[in-house]
Amino acid sequence: MNTNLPDGWTIERVRSVSGDAEAEALTLERLVVVGRPDAILSFHDLCLARADGEWYMGQLDTDGSLV
């Protein structure tokens, strides 16, 4: 499980702030178009990926890749 959230953040805090009780941290073993992420969060149909200190928004493809 991915635990590389920014300092001071937990998945529970992400859920609380986002209002999405089902938000989850995803594993990093997937293709992500922006490069090599160090954190991936899932919010139903949307995902956030952090790579090189920047956050990107995308969706999971049927093969599990993030585009």
- How does pLDDT run across 13-47, given as a tens digit for each residue? 999 999 999 999 988 888 877 778 899 999 987 99
Q: What is the pLDDT of residue 3?
A: 62
Position 18 in a domain: yes
**Is 60 exceeded by the pLDDT of residue 2?**
no
Position 3 in a domain: no
Domain tally, the chain:
1
Position 65 in a domain: no
- For 25, 31, 49, the CA distances from 17, given in Å and listed in that order, are 15, 27, 17
Q: What is the pLDDT of residue 22?
A: 92
Position 6 in a domain: no
**Is 60 exceeded by the pLDDT of residue 1?**
no
Q: Which residue segment(s) compose the domain that 25 sits in?
A: 11-58
Distance between CA 1 and CA 19 in Å, rounded? 21
| CA 23 remoteness from chain centre | 9
> Which is nearest to 10 in space by CA: 29, 22, 24, 26?
24
Position 31 in a domain: yes
Name the 3-class secondary structure at 11: helix
Mean pLDDT of 2-17: 86
